[in-house]
Structure 1
């Protein structure tokens, strides 16, 4: 439920203008040692200093200890090239794609997507790179050279930090969607870039209300629902240096997701799936092809499980959602598709958990195990006896991170669960239908009433910027610290847990 907040205008003009001023004053990202990139204060300006052919800034996916993928888009078609190496020798190696850039349509423009895999890297080691056209044009122009660091080895004991966020990619700013900058999301992206996170895990619904190349966007085109992720105020800076791992959500059900967020190496290494899968009819739904993403990797002694717990809103068939009602019809379909005893994903997960009987484990997926949002409530199908929650518990998973509900919530369950759905999409209320006993801390916002909501020990937010957030997660010395950070840069509800040895 949106409480008609997308169309509200009256309450937020002053707040929006104040946020724009904050963004213009603060929006700087460090891309390499000693070098800073500042974005222009005007909403949705081109990336200053970049070559005009660059339409989508380079971003990183499929990061392993020895390789990473670099993707970007241009207005002209060529074979993409990346020059890379260790700091101080960033052009030590060069790799050129074997194919021309793949045509995509963004808004009204034909653009060309390029992806190049960098190899020969070392675990836990910094590297730097620049992207070029096949003819040798430096697409970053006068911008500083981006740098990143590969994940640590599986058995490393060195401390490391990563970020978690969910439900992002919306141009609505404080309840108003007029195509201007979503300052809350812009600040969250900026803060992730400055957090020291080695990588980010996105828990689904990376763009709203759906998934298209236009919604992902580019550095130039603007408007409601346009460039809500790759616009210059958003992932364009942070994505150059922080690799992203993700999974699908109920708003990600098109092949576009697979083409943008390729993860072939980590998927193959874990015998997972990152592909378009045909699902038969369940409970009267239509047979349908959906992007399906589940895979795992280990870094720093922790096994990361990225799972597919999602289903499209428009294909619920005869599902009723049980006692939960219509909000949970997609949960019921997801349970039939993914979490029956004989389903492919359930079998894969149980086998991988059995193959890793010791050590710390984190799980990430979209539908929430426990949520006090009225419109995106707890998924009773996943928490039922023998369901996904039981499988994760018996498999030794330490912490679960979910999205879908556009709130923040921490639950004192076993395993501990978080809902982190405040990454950029319009945030929702929490606790309006009551707060559950396991809800230790939760915050939300009502745009129709222009006020915050809270559960557990949380103070009631006085500004929606206190609800937009990401999680900064640090693994160190046999424990993990989760530090939620709101879009104002303030940490809250910081918790530390021991990890399974």
Structure 2
């Protein structure tokens, strides 16, 4: 049940334990009662990270996680060789890793900062480690904050159960349809839920930040405003990022070198003969020859092969592409297909070879453009039909996509893989089924801010609050049993499905 009180100054609404006041200029507060009546409070403005040293401008975050190594990155106001002291839980300073180079200069807003990154090596599979970050002079940048810890992935052949999260289309300061630079409450709550989910790592399906990718958009702990600090603000990735590694791929809103600077996945890419770096693309269908960040690679953990694929193209470089029967919304799909998914294309040939060399194991694929989507503005990518058939032939069990800012589960069938669209990580969510619901859409939910109402397809009930559409997927693997538990920003699970995957 939803109740609302309106006045000329704003609107107070109460829905499923969530009390929110919204006005034309800000979201003043949001109280969320989740599982076990846990209470979270999102303030009206960003603040720094209490307890951290004043030099720290981005809290440490993890990426490129393997069974033997992980990347730790952060940013500071001063330039030095960053250092990390780490070890197994109980002996957190057993080892020290120091960067070979000084921190790289970056500009966030008008502020010069320095990005640091250090690789921790000598790790063991499925082992808990703790760490702290320092300047070269020995200043503990975490100050009085607790020591973060993380657990490395399972070994390739392990049969132990494990959990990971899937997140897509994040990094907006827009809150409830209003972009005034205050906290995006729904995104903050999604990040908070991930932090306590028990996920070993997070798979990101593209578009970390909206509407573009810049150091200012990624931001820091101190600055705020419209399209500022939408990722590294203290209410967002700071919460899970210190303890849960992110493994991701590019989207159409991350087609700059900034993406490669912020996220490092070179160890995973190298181990699978994939690509993580800039690639020069010639002109296709009247587009300009251009250099784009490119990411495709794979890894195996807990007996499952994970594929991170590059299905992305820049919105402003579509040339003469028409999008076919889909129209202009699909012009970027057409360009992506020409660049990545023709016989002989480097990524396509790599994918076919890797699938063939990993037969007989469960496989999951993650990429940005959706195989099937009932979004009017980000519809199904029919140009990926040959890719889906290749994935079917290669024994892929589940596909996870982003791009469409909604939730949609698509059923499997002949020549068709069960797939998810998970685009509700924080970017402004959209309606589902405006042009009709497809027969394969088993469960879909969306929200329209212009109409102030939800929408649904398949077996889903119509959402009564936008907070029900913002979500991530919690995925648990236990042998050949895989459970996908979508979890909304209120902490409620919905449309939980269990699959039996390739033995």
User: Same fold, TM exceeding 0.5?
Assistant: yes
The answer (yes or no) to whether the contact 1:442–1:456 under 8 Å persists in 2 is yes
Aligned to 2:94, which of 92, 95, 105?
Answer: 92
Q: How far apart are 1:274 and its partner, in Å? A: 0.6
Which of 463, 467, 470 is matched with 1:468 structurally?
Answer: 470
The 5 Å alignment of 1:186-265 reads 186-265=188-267
Cα offset, 1:358, TM superposition: 1.1
Q: How does 1:150-189 map to 2 (within 5 A)?
A: 150-189=152-191
Judged with a 3 Å threshold, the aligned counterparts in structure 2 of structure 1 residues 95 and 473 are, in CA distance, closer, same or farther, namely: same
Asked if structure 1 preserves the Cα contact closer than 8 Å seen for 2:106 and 2:215, the reply is yes
For the structure 1 residues 486 and 453, does the alpha-carbon distance in structure 2 shift closer, same or farther, using more than 3 Å as the test?
same
Alignment correspondent of 2:390? 391
Unaligned runs of 5+ in 1: 1-8, 27-37
Corresponding residue number in structure 1 for 2:37: none
> How many angstroms does 1:86 deviate by?
1.0
Assess if the C-alpha contact under 8 Å between 2:483 and 2:499 holds in 1: yes
For the pair 1:17 / 2:50, whether they are aligned, the reply is: no
Q: Which runs of 5+ in 2 are unaligned?
A: 1-7, 14-18, 35-39
Q: CA deviation at 1:88?
A: 1.2
**From 329, 332, 348, the counterpart of 1:330:** 332
SS at match of 1:17: strand
Work out which of the residue numbers 471, 487, 490 in structure 2 matches 1:488.
490
| Cα deviations by residue, 1:253-275 (Å, 9 ceiling, x for unpaired) | 00000010011111000000011
Q: Structure 1 residue 478: deviation in Å?
A: 1.3
Distance 1:54 1:46 in 2: 9
What do residues 459-483 of structure 1 show as CA deviations (whole Å, max 9, x unaligned)?
0000000000000000013110000
Structure 1 CA distance, aligned partners of 2:172 and 2:74? 21
Q: Cα deviations across residues 335-355 of structure 1 (Å, max 9, x unaligned)?
A: 000000110000000000011
The answer to whether the Cα contact below 8 Å between 1:16 and 1:174 also exists between their aligned partners in 2 is no
Query: Where does 1:55-66 land on structure 2 (aligned, <5 Å)?
Result: 55-66=57-68
1:426 pairs, out of 415, 425, 428, with 428
Which residue of structure 2 aligns with residue 6 of structure 1? none
The match for 2:352 is 350
Secondary structure (helix, strand or coil) at the match of 2:21 reads helix
Q: Provide the C-alpha distance between the structure 2 equivalents of 1:124 and 1:259, rounded to a whole number of angstroms.
A: 28
SS at match of 2:339: helix
| Matched-pair contact (CA < 8 Å) for 2:173–2:181 | yes
Among 271, 277, 280, the residue aligned to 2:273: 271
2:5 aligned partner: none
Name the CA distance, whole Å, in 2 between partners of 1:21 and 1:426. 18
Provide the TM-score with structure 1 as the length reference.
0.93
Distance 2:188 2:256 in 1: 25
Distance of 2:158 and 2:265 partners within structure 1? 22
Counterpart residue number, 1:312: 314
Give the distance between the partners of 1:285 and 1:42, measured in 2 at CA.
43
Q: Is the 8 A contact 2:296 2:307 kept in 1?
A: yes
Among candidates 371, 378, 381, match of residue 380 of structure 2:
378
**In 2: Cα distance, 1:342 partner to 1:188 partner:** 40
Identify the residue that residue 135 of structure 2 maps to in structure 1.
133
The offset of 1:17, in angstroms, is: 2.8
Cα distance in 1, alignment partners of residues 240 and 11 from structure 2:
27
Give SS of 1:241's match.
Answer: coil
CA contact (8 A) 1:266 1:296 kept: yes
User: Are 2:409 and 1:410 equivalent residues in the alignment?
Assistant: yes
Any conservation in 1 of the 2:33–2:490 contact (CA below 8 Å)?
Answer: no
- Following superposition, the deviation at residue 196 of structure 1 comes to 0.0
Match of 1:32 in 2: none
Mapped to 2, the partners of 1:341 and 1:450 lie a distance apart of 45
The two structures have a TM-score, normalised by structure 2, of 0.93
Who is 2:341 aligned against? Answer: 339
SS in 2 for 1:293: strand
The alpha carbon displacement at 1:11 in A equals 7.5
CA contact (8 A) 2:486 2:494 kept: yes
CA apart distance, 1:12: 6.1
C-alpha distance in 2 between matches for 1:454 and 1:25:
24
